[in-house]
Amino acid sequence: MALLQKGIKIDSNNIPQHIAIIMDGNGRWAKRRGLTRSMGHREGARVVKKIIEQAYDIGIRYLTFFAFSNENWARPKAEVDELMRLYLEYLKSAENETNDKNVRVRIIGSREGLSKEIIDQINKIEKGTLNRDRMTLMIALNYGGRQDILQATQKIAEDVRNGVLAIDEITQEEFQRKLYTEDVPDPDLLIRTSGEMRISNFLIWQCSYTEFYFTPVLWPDFTEKDLKEAIIEYQRRNRRFGDVK
């Protein structure tokens, strides 16, 4: 069916459970066309919707997008404002857009600094999609991996102070539950577009054993074929998790 295209075939027995994506290159895409950076982000948002549909059809259980890092506030105010407008628009449309699909939407990251309007929409969509369970779509908004680890540490410290957790009960599993991703399994595959080869403070705890896939394609040019290729490359990898196989 749709998984077969131009000779490329995804092995349906080895589908990554969780794919995380760093969407990079919107600005360069726009610049090359003489467009504003904001237009690049708008085009990027269009691609996000397309890739969600494809991931859903393939049977990906968790899909996470790095939308805005807690370092992105340093960008020019006009660009930050435009990105926030885009996220608000997206959050307002996402519940309806996923209505015919069994998609749960979760927003990970700090709420600090986000407008009340955005926070209200986040709460609305998280509540409205809570019982959906075929795919979980996670948007990392105002997210940073170090910040995630810090806030988890603070929650652990609070539990210890309140006497509900003993120091020797601080296990990796316990720590993981305090991260923004909570019960979500670690990403199997991390895709970064635009040729940059770094993790940029994204899910740094969670990506300990993740397979990385870097492509020179700029995010607005990323197609269904590119996702398919990334998954096929993932399926060629030999995951050992520190063991010998």
Sole residue written with tokens 């490329």: 8
Q: Residue 186 and residue 72: Cα distance in Å, rounded?
A: 24
Helix (H) or strand (E) holding 160: helix 145-161
The single residue among 16, 27, 144, 145 that binds ligand FPP, judged by CB under 6 A, is 27
- To ligand FPP, the closest distance from the beta carbon of 28 in angstroms equals 3
**Is the CB of 67 or the CB of 152 nearer to ligand FPP?**
67
> Which tokens is 71 given?
């370092």
Task: Candidates 10-18, 52-60, 85-93, 118-126: pick the segment binding ligand FPP (CB under 6 A).
Answer: 85-93
Using N-to-C axis directions, what is the helix angle for 37-58 and 224-236, rounded to 10°? Answer: 60
Q: Record the tokens describing residue 69, joined without a space.
A: 């890092």
Residues 100-159 within binding reach of ligand FPP (CB under 6 A)? 139
Q: Which stretch binds ligand FPP (CB under 6 A): 1-9, 43-51, 127-135, 152-160?
A: 43-51
The single-letter code of the amino acid at 148 is D
222 binds ligand FPP (CB under 6 A): no
Name which of 135, 139, 170 is nearest 155 in CA terms: 170
Q: Could you say whether residue 24 binds ligand FPP (CB under 6 A)?
A: yes
Q: In whole angstroms, what is the distance from residue 177 CA to residue 125 CA?
A: 22
Choice from 15, 19, 65, 156 touching ligand FPP (CB under 6 A): 65
Question: Token pair for residue 114?
Answer: 């986000």
Catalytic residue among 13, 57, 72, 159: 72
**Contact set with ligand FPP (CB under 6 A):** 23-28, 37, 41, 44-45, 48, 65, 67, 72, 86-87, 90, 139, 194, 219
